[in-house]
Structure 1
Amino acid sequence: MRTTPLPVIALTGFLGSGKTTLLEHWLAKSPVAAEKSALVINDFGPVNIDALLLNRPNLQLLSIAGGCVCCTSYGELIDNLAKLAENPELELVWMETSGLAEPDEILDHLTSPKLQGKIRVQRLVQVIDAAHYPGPWRLRALEEEQLCYADWIVLNKTDLVAPDQLEKLTAKIRAINPHAVLHRAARGETESAHFWDAHDGAVLASVAEAHEAHDHACEHEAAHEPAPTPAATLYYPLSQPIPRAEFDRFLSELPPSVYRAKGFVRFAEEPTVVQTFQRVCEQQETLILPVSKAGTPPAPGLVFIGPQLDEAWFRQQLAPWMSRPASGGTRLKMI
């Protein structure tokens, strides 16, 4: 029987900020053994790509896909955490939220009456893409809100930013959240890895300050920017390898409404190798790597996130390599 609340370290951060890569490094460095840890991964898309990438032996993994835990899937999150807390052998829960998660809602669910005395929020980590902050103008209010609530901020991809620009960015972040511990990272590797230290209660104690900071930071934006269109996801399972040149052409022609694209794919040049790809479309960068996990490789399929996605266009483009008709996306109300 558990005598103390189960610690939870939650990672937030906008799409493509590097949460999954950071978490891979932290899992490798964690002093808590995998068999005494659990990982909760939420993906806005209908297939949890990040969960497939982070799965490893002895680590209890819970995947929540097809909606954001701050709104449509919060009941599943609360129930899963309550069940995890019943295991006295567990010492730590890692939680990666969707890139579209609202931090105040996340904290509200983590402090649900159903979880009182069962878990405690040890750390709320915000991952920032230093090379592209503040991101798409349509979602800047959301990214600033995520930043306001963090007690730890990881400024990632600092190797892609000039030193003077990095100092200016640090000052901007400090103006929004002057209280959080700030760490810099390159390719997801932080200068310091003391993320497991005992928590001093700063997360929940600073919620009121975060509300005030967020209202102040976003008040001007709200007055001058139109309300963003709700986002949706589309998933397209693939049965056939795609020629690499055709895949590159397809990515280059993606409509501007696509915030994020990711998934698993086989190329015609190496049809037996499953590769993972990640793309944040406003950055015009695509990362493609072989899947190195042991065991059965994940099924090829592509996930797209964004508002007003044209299902017919995607289906037409991918028809030669699809295994069945595409599914529609779950819709999320955005800030």
Structure 2
Amino acid sequence: MIDVYLYSGFLGSGKTSLLLHTIAQLKAAGKKPAVLMNEFGELPIDSDTVTESGDVPLKELLSGCICCTGSEKTEAQLQALLEDYDDIDVILIETTGAAHPVEALDAVYSPFFADRLQVKGIVTVADALRFVHREELSPRIHALLLEQIRHAHVIALNKSDLVTDSQLATISMELANLNPSAPIVQTVQGKLDFSFIEKTLSQEKAAQQPIISGKHLPLSSKVISFSRPVQQEEVEEWTKSLPDTVYRMKGYIPIVGVKNPMLFQYAYGMVNWMPEYVKMPERLVMIGEGIGEIEWKD
């Protein structure tokens, strides 16, 4: 079984710095790490720094969508890692800073990898300075930042040297209130001892702190069908009324005036539309908790 660690955290929090320190520590310990990195833009800027760190197997997902990267793409890249390299000891997954941790875990828990991968947990990097000014973020982004913290098994409170001692104490208390079960480690430039992460996310600890995923949460899914074309604005207004327990939606929605149903993706309040050039089934899959009563008002 290959251990898998998911590194989460908002844009610019220091995930890549933590990743590079982890790679160095694993290599020093004689282990073979591999990296799956979800880049937000078109160019592999962060992943270039990983390749500079030496002979580390790397797969990347470019143009990471704020809404949903697509678990099928993540599955494909994981499959490629496992097929191309047979000596991997640890897989480190760095999500784009605009991703919900549940999104990446969906793919890792694919039945294709059930006998090969063992997810150890989520390490979230919290930017101390950004956390102080979090109220300046838009409501949706603010909520995403908090979700990344709530889903963590270990919290690295990074850039702790950029705030005062008083601010640091306040932030630590607020993080503990958001996530009472995750240890909080103050870090500078993403430097965190991997042995601490490994020990904290040992099998015994993981049993007490279940991984947030479809395997361990009461997540359910439902299919929503459309009997007529709808206005794009109607859909977006509807999404604003959904509870926070709707984590993801993906499907094809018939839009008034558009020939083929459009690809619609939604994750934690954020919406993305893409045109389709062939006729697709007019239905939407919703994933979340307690979603049984949610319907599209046709």
Query: What TM-score bracket applies, with the shorter chain setting the length?
Result: 0.5 to 0.7
Within the alignment, does 1:111 sit opposite 2:112 as a pair?
A: no
Aligned AA (1:93): I
Distance in 1 separating the partners of 2:123 and 2:54: 25
- Which of 29, 52, 58 is 2:55 aligned to? 58
- Measured in 2, the distance between the counterparts of 1:35 and 1:69 equals 33
2:121 to 101, 120, 123: 123
Does 1:207 find its partner at 2:212? yes
Q: Secondary structure at the match of 1:188?
A: coil
Deviations 1:280-316 (A, max 9, x none): xxxxxxxxxxxxxxxxxxxxxxxxxxxxxxxxxxxxx
Q: Which runs of 5+ in 2 are unaligned?
A: 219-239, 242-264, 270-298
Moved more, 92-101 or 57-66: 57-66
Q: Normalising by the residue count of structure 1, what TM-score does the alignment of the two structures yield?
A: 0.57
Are 1:69 and 1:97, in contact at CA under 8 Å, matched by a contact in 2?
no
Residue 150 of structure 2: aligned partner: 148
Q: Map 1:280-291 to 2 at 5 A.
A: none
* Identity across the alignment (%): 30
Q: Which residue does 1:166 correspond to in 2?
A: 168
Aligned residues: 214
Name the counterpart of 1:100. Answer: 98
**Contact 1:128/1:154, CA 8 A, preserved across alignment:** yes
Distance 1:69 1:203 in 2: 31
Runs (5+) with no aligned partner, structure 1: 213-221, 224-330
Verify: 1:194 aligned to 2:191, yes or no.
no
Of 116-125 and 94-103, deviating more is 116-125
CA 1:202–1:129: 2 relative to 1, 3 Å:
farther
Q: 1:204: Cα distance to partner?
A: 6.7
Give the Cα–Cα distance (whole angstroms) in 2 for the partners of residues 151 and 113 of structure 1: 23
Calculate the aligned-residue CA RMSD, in Å. 2.9
After TM superposition, the structure 1 = structure 2 runs for residues 1-335 of structure 1, keeping only pairs within 5 Å, are 5-31=1-27, 36-55=32-51, 56-68=53-65, 71-86=68-83, 87-133=85-131, 135=134, 136-138=137-139, 139-190=141-192, 193-197=195-199, 199-200=202-203, 201-202=206-207, 205-207=210-212, 335=269
The 3-state SS of whatever aligns with 1:99 is: coil
Secondary structure of the corresponding residue to residue 131 of structure 1: helix
SS at match of 1:63: strand
With structure 2 as the length reference, what TM-score do the two structures score?
0.64
* Structure 2 counterpart of 1:11, one-letter code: Y
Q: Is the 8 A contact 1:153 1:181 kept in 2?
A: yes
- Cα deviations by residue, 1:187-208 (Å, 9 ceiling, x for unpaired): 2223675233462225871538
